Chain A
């Protein structure tokens, strides 16, 4: 008969196995994309799908020859980071006032802000397009920075608000008693306490900006086009393209994956810091 210890070990192994299985299922599309990027087009289309094949770099060479990857990557970096910074600059004061100076309409305001996310983007395509055209911002990074900032602002305000709500008011009051101004209170007390939460919010905003395709495809053409536009250019109505599309998708995902992986440690560290433990 199984002892309690054995039973717990078995349970732990089963749970571990299940976790691995779920993780693999979630990771599989990325793995398959990377594998396909090293196949020939005919291998990429093979049925049943090939797990073992002669790897080739021809798709990456083709992309290197046809497209200016660095131009698109730079646009993605400039737009995503700028939009994230701008978003946080607006969201932090907004969330501060909502979290620490709550009125009876704060909750409704937050809900209203979030409700704007329910509007399908295509519904406002023409007005936004005409505005961008009228202000001469079509195919500029500035247009995409503004749009991404506005699109992500509701989520960012909500997240920062949630983190600020967890900060005890006593700490801020103590700072005020010590003579801190509003700016000092925010910069020297509130932000260091919430830097873990702010870092997670910034990373989420960055990923959302990086992956955004609808506005980038509609408002940019050549000068401001980010990596999502580069990916779209490799889909073809006539001819096999899966391997090339996988290669360009891998190249587009790589920077943000690497950035997320590097900042993971910082994020965990940031989250474990703080005045209240």
Chain B
């Protein structure tokens, strides 16, 4: 049988067009938390809308994710097309040109709807390097039933001193009830996030304008002494190993009267399937002392595109979709409005959302005032962290020292002196002041 010439031509054209029509597969590295897992589940909608893009998910624990992404991006490994990173990485990696600047977003993306503080935190040198998926601040959670029983009233903006007094009154160690739960597990993103906002509230900073560590000052001294004294008096046993999850478990099982931590816990403590005290939780601003500046932290998980990705256009399409208003609507339709990723867009905070999520108003107000920018007295960007490459190591080292003060290995004053000398040494090695 003779095959017509045009049939050969058609077959050749199809053969050439085949690779172009084949779907691009994006590998997305993300962290295991409820919002990200929801995104993974709902991304089937994206694949239906974009049949030319397939998604491959790599879900990792936060510390493993950080280490894995750092290795890959520093070596231009190119294993991932979309990265889930925090504010710390976004600006540092952006400055090094390891990330692609996010430009030319679709007209309906409405970047102006994203909170300026969040945009600022994900930018470097005037370029935006990641699109925020959700953002969080820190707020105070307290047991309204216990406060009522004790005849106490939580002010809208409590001071740390008031928190300490309430905690002492609400502690009944015989009944396994503790007045105050705060992070003690060492780590720059663990106890140091809380302790830095605590010190900020006492007017402290990590460094002065010439990058000299400030642990010798009164602000850190008062802050750390408050922390150690009150955790010993009103905190749960083994507080030095308690992080977010451990305190969440204590609060949800009714063993904590006051807990100051990430606003993302709002949806967990009010979820009846995992909280025994879901109906008696109050929310208010994170405590302050001599100043309100820097008392609520600012953190965001965001989607970034590494410069080593060969599928940057498709990656941008996905990142824009996952952080869009349409995605928020999709979550509201499928899982309820209370589960919309919080903290990134003004449009999220509709009346319906504020009704469904009782913690949303405090979170919104906290995010609005959070300002990570450097100032005349504070040479670094960041509220609960210092956006310099050395901070991960220094922050974790200081975190270990302060955690040791909780276990009575050393006094608060000794811990501060130790933190001061170690930070001075590490900063000198790193070549500061620069």
CB within 8 Å of B: which residues of A? 40-42, 45-47, 65-66, 125-126, 129-130, 133, 138-139, 217-218, 221-222, 225, 229, 232-241
A contact patch SS: loop
Q: Are B252 and A236 in contact (CB under 8 A)?
A: no
Q: Are A238 and B274 in contact (CB under 8 A)?
A: no
A45: chain B residues within 8 A (beta carbon):
249, 252-253
Chain B, Cβ-Cβ closest to A234: B32
Judged by a CB distance under 8 angstroms, whether B375 is at the interface is no
Q: Are B262 and A240 in contact (CB under 8 A)?
A: no
Q: Are A133 and B77 in contact (CB under 8 A)?
A: yes
Given contacts A66-B41, A125-B71, contact A238 B27 (CB under 8 A): no
Q: Are B33 and A238 in contact (CB under 8 A)?
A: yes
CA distance A74 to B355 in the complex (A): 47
Given contacts A66-B37, A222-B56, A239-B33, contact A232 B64 (CB under 8 A): yes
B78: chain A residues within 8 A (beta carbon):
133
16 other A-B residue contacts (CB within 8 Å) besides A221-B58, A222-B57, A237-B33: A42-B274, A45-B252, A66-B41, A133-B75, A133-B77, A138-B79, A139-B79, A218-B71, A233-B59, A234-B32, A235-B32, A236-B61, A238-B33, A238-B34, A238-B244, A240-B274
What's the nearest-Cβ distance from chain A to residue B328, in Å? 19
Q: Are A241 and B68 in contact (CB under 8 A)?
A: no
Judged by a CB distance under 8 angstroms, whether B29 is at the interface is yes
Chain A, Cβ-Cβ closest to B62: A237
CA distance A46 to B56 in the complex (A): 35
Q: Are A42 and B244 in contact (CB under 8 A)?
A: no
Chain A, Cβ-Cβ closest to B31: A237
Given contacts A221-B80, A233-B61, contact A239 B268 (CB under 8 A): yes
Number of A-B contacts (CB under 8 A): 98
Given contacts A126-B75, A221-B80, contact A238 B253 (CB under 8 A): no
B37: chain A residues within 8 A (beta carbon):
66
Q: Are A217 and B68 in contact (CB under 8 A)?
A: yes
B80: chain A residues within 8 A (beta carbon):
221
What's the nearest-Cβ distance from chain B to residue A225, in Å? 7
Docked complex: B1-49 residues within 8 A CB-CB of A: 27, 29, 31-34, 37, 40-41
CA distance A139 to B27 in the complex (A): 11
B276: chain A residues within 8 A (beta carbon):
42
Judged by a CB distance under 8 angstroms, whether B298 is at the interface is no
Docked complex: B318-370 residues within 8 A CB-CB of A: none
A225: chain B residues within 8 A (beta carbon):
58
Give 15 pairs: A residue, B residue, CB < 8 Å, sorted on A: A42-B253, A42-B276, A45-B253, A66-B41, A138-B79, A217-B64, A217-B68, A232-B64, A236-B32, A237-B244, A238-B33, A238-B245, A239-B33, A239-B245, A239-B268
Within 8 Å by CB of A129, from B77, B249, B274, lies B77
Q: Are A221 and B79 in contact (CB under 8 A)?
A: yes
A40: chain B residues within 8 A (beta carbon):
273-274
What's the nearest-Cβ distance from chain A to residue B64, in Å? 6
Q: Are A42 and B252 in contact (CB under 8 A)?
A: yes
Judged by a CB distance under 8 angstroms, whether B313 is at the interface is no
What's the nearest-Cβ distance from chain B to residue A235, in Å? 4
B33: chain A residues within 8 A (beta carbon):
236-239
Judged by a CB distance under 8 angstroms, whether B152 is at the interface is no
Given contacts A45-B253, A235-B32, A239-B245, contact A130 B75 (CB under 8 A): yes
- Binary interface encoding of chain B residues 263-281 relative to chain A, with 1 for a CB under 8 A from any of its CBs, else 0: 0110010000111100000
Judged by a CB distance under 8 angstroms, whether B258 is at the interface is no
CB within 8 Å of A: which residues of B? 27, 29, 31-34, 37, 40-41, 56-64, 67-68, 71, 75, 77-80, 176, 243-245, 248-249, 252-253, 255, 262, 264-265, 268, 273-276
CA distance A138 to B75 in the complex (A): 12
A130: chain B residues within 8 A (beta carbon):
75
CA distance A47 to B40 in the complex (A): 32
Within 8 Å by CB of B27, from A218, A221, A241, lies A221
Q: Are B32 and A233 in contact (CB under 8 A)?
A: yes
CA distance A235 to B79 in the complex (A): 22
Query: 5 closest Cβ contacts across the A-B interface?
Result: A235-B61, A233-B59, A45-B249, A237-B62, A236-B32
CA distance A65 to B176 in the complex (A): 38
CA distance A65 to B40 in the complex (A): 11
Q: Are A237 and B75 in contact (CB under 8 A)?
A: no
Given contacts A126-B75, A217-B68, A222-B27, contact A240 B62 (CB under 8 A): no
CA distance A268 to B151 in the complex (A): 71
Within 8 Å by CB of A233, from B56, B60, B252, B273, lies B60
Within 8 Å by CB of A232, from B29, B61, B255, lies B61
A46: chain B residues within 8 A (beta carbon):
253
A238: chain B residues within 8 A (beta carbon):
33-34, 244-245, 262, 264-265
Chain A, Cβ-Cβ closest to B236: A47
CA distance A235 to B33 in the complex (A): 9
What's the nearest-Cβ distance from chain A to residue B236, in Å? 10
CA distance A40 to B273 in the complex (A): 9
What's the nearest-Cβ distance from chain A to residue B114, in Å? 21
What's the nearest-Cβ distance from chain A to residue B225, in Å? 29
What's the nearest-Cβ distance from chain B to residue A120, in Å? 14
What's the nearest-Cβ distance from chain A to residue B34, in Å? 5
Chain B, Cβ-Cβ closest to A139: B79
CA distance A42 to B79 in the complex (A): 36
A221: chain B residues within 8 A (beta carbon):
27, 29, 58, 68, 79-80
B68: chain A residues within 8 A (beta carbon):
217-218, 221
CA distance A46 to B262 in the complex (A): 22
CA distance A232 to B264 in the complex (A): 22
A66: chain B residues within 8 A (beta carbon):
37, 40-41
B264: chain A residues within 8 A (beta carbon):
238
What's the nearest-Cβ distance from chain A to residue B156, in Å? 26
B31: chain A residues within 8 A (beta carbon):
236-237
What's the nearest-Cβ distance from chain A to residue B66, in Å? 10
Within 8 Å by CB of B249, from A133, A139, A232, A240, lies A240
